[in-house]
């Protein structure tokens, strides 16, 4: 069978793109491996600049049916109180942060794609993609091996994307000395009208709490991999993770009665990306194109930027080869800008090497993420790099 576009991956990136394209009459097939979306430790917040992307795509109303717009962002150095920022009043797009339970958002957007007219095949395992015009996809569906063709294949198959190999892309990797642990907690007593971020620069640690509603918080801890001897992943280490949160400055009362609400896992903060995520008949979006450092929480916002950029290119011209190339150039521009901003913040708040002391003496963390917000990665994303 032949389609205009085949999307590999029916998560947030793939479903968002399929919805936008199908709404414009493009014949889209979404191939999703999972029949039921499962909870994993991953990002569940979209920064205000990403919310603006969702709004521009026409997706925000659907996303708000299962997500919540959090108006405030509280940044503390040690125990609260800290800088309580009103995101709607202080961001260029006048938006809050969107938080949600990831499996529910995946299901919501995949259903939106189907309502828009996209064909959705769940339980589909993609075996191989042969780039070209048209591109060919081999997939196992309902126990049968199918050969499909499309004018364009869009791979949204995540951080460990097999599509990179199929397209012959060279993956760049940047190791990182930090790790991040995450867990869904229930029964947390923290204020639910704010995201809470607490930094402890002397030990290069941070704690982040994102409210999902009903006293549920996705909670993360950032720490130097080599200086934390006990892994913060795994259910048995919840007590240790909560103790680290309290050392950073999280009030102990917030965790009175807190309990596990989902899996717990640790990841290193290495980055992986493809410099030009376009090959003949094949485009990478989202984590397949760029798996960023998770500390700064820009992954899902970048996903929506990718969707808007690619959809805009495809809908504005008939030559999809040129459209794919234009998307890849814009994606690389945003990637470089975002990583410049993230690098400065990481060095300022987490680097423990003596060579960074000059930076610490010249610039205070509060100058870049406090009330002055000279490097506003939450409100502006890649555009924040213009201050550098």
Break the chain into its structural domains and give their ranges.
2-66+101-173+271-340, 178-268
Predicted local confidence at residue 367, as pLDDT: 57
Q: What angle do CA 229, 198, 104 make, to 5 degrees?
A: 90
Residue 12 has a pLDDT of 97
CATH 1.10.1060.10 fits 2-66+101-173+271-340, yes or no: no
Question: How would residue 355 be classed by pLDDT, with cut points 50, 70 and 90?
Answer: very low
Q: Which residues of 213-243 are buried (b: 16+ CB within 10 A; e: fewer)?
A: eebbbbbbbbbeeeebeeebbeeebbebbbe
Structure tokens at 61: 């109303």
Alpha helices in 268-356 (DSSP H): 299-316, 320-349
Closest CA to 198 of 253, 256, 251, 234: 251
As assigned by CATH, the class of the 178-268 domain is alpha beta
Examine the pLDDT at 74 and tell me if it is beyond 90. yes
What element of type H or E holds 129? Answer: strand 125-130
Give 127's pLDDT tier (boundaries 50, 70, 90): very high
* Fold match flag (2-66+101-173+271-340 vs 178-268): no
Least confident of 275-279, 296-300, 350-354: 350-354
pTM for the whole structure: 0.94
Beta pairing class for 290-291 and 282-284? unpaired
pLDDT in tens, 320-329: 999 999 999 9
pLDDT on residue 187: 97
Give 354's DSSP letter: G
Round to whole Å and give the CA distance between 170 and 272: 10
């Amino acid at each position: 069978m032949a389609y205009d576009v085949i999307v590999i991956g029916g998560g947030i990136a793939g479903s968002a793109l399929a919805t936008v394209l199908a709404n414009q009459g493009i014949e889209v097939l979404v191939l999703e491996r999972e029949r039921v979306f499962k909870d994993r430790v991953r990002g569940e917040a979209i920064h205000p600049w990403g919310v603006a992307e969702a709004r521009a795509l026409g997706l925000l109303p659907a996303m708000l049916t299962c997500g919540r717009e959090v108006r405030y962002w509280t940044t503390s150095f040690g125990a609260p109180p800290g800088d309580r920022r009103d995101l709607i009043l202080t961001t260029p797009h006048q938006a809050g942060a969107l938080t949600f339970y990831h499996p529910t958002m995946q299901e919501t957007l995949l259903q939106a794609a189907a309502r828009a007219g996209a064909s959705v095949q769940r339980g589909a395992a993609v075996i191989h993609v042969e780039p070209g015009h048209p591109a060919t996809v081999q997939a196992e569906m309902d126990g049968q091996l199918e050969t499909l063709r499309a004018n364009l294949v869009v791979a949204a198959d995540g951080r460990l994307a097999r599509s990179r190999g199929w397209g012959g892309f060279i993956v760049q990797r940047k190791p990182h000395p930090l790790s991040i642990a995450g867990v869904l907690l229930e029964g947390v007593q923290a204020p639910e009208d704010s995201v809470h971020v607490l930094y402890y620069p002397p030990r290069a640690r941070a704690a982040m709490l994102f409210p999902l509603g009903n006293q549920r918080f996705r909670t993360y801890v950032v720490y130097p991999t080599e200086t934390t001897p006990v892994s913060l992943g795994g259910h048995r280490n919840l007590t240790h993770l909560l103790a680290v949160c309290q050392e950073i400055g999280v009030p102990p009362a917030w965790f009175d009665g807190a309990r596990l609400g989902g899996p717990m896992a640790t990841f290193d903060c290495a980055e992986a990306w493809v410099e030009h995520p376009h090959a003949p008949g094949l485009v990478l979006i989202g984590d397949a194109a760029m798996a960023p450092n998770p500390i700064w929480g820009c992954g899902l916002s970048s996903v929506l930027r990718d969707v808007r950029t690619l959809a805009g290119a495809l809908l504005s011209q008939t030559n999809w080869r040129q459209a794919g190339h234009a998307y890849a150039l814009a994606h690389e521009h945003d990637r470089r800008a975002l990583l410049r901003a993230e690098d400065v913040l990481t060095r300022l708040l987490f680097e423990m090497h003596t060579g960074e002391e000059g930076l610490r003496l010249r610039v205070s963390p509060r100058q870049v993420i406090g009330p002055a917000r000279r490097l506003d990665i939450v409100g502006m994303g890649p555009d924040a790099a213009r201050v550098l």
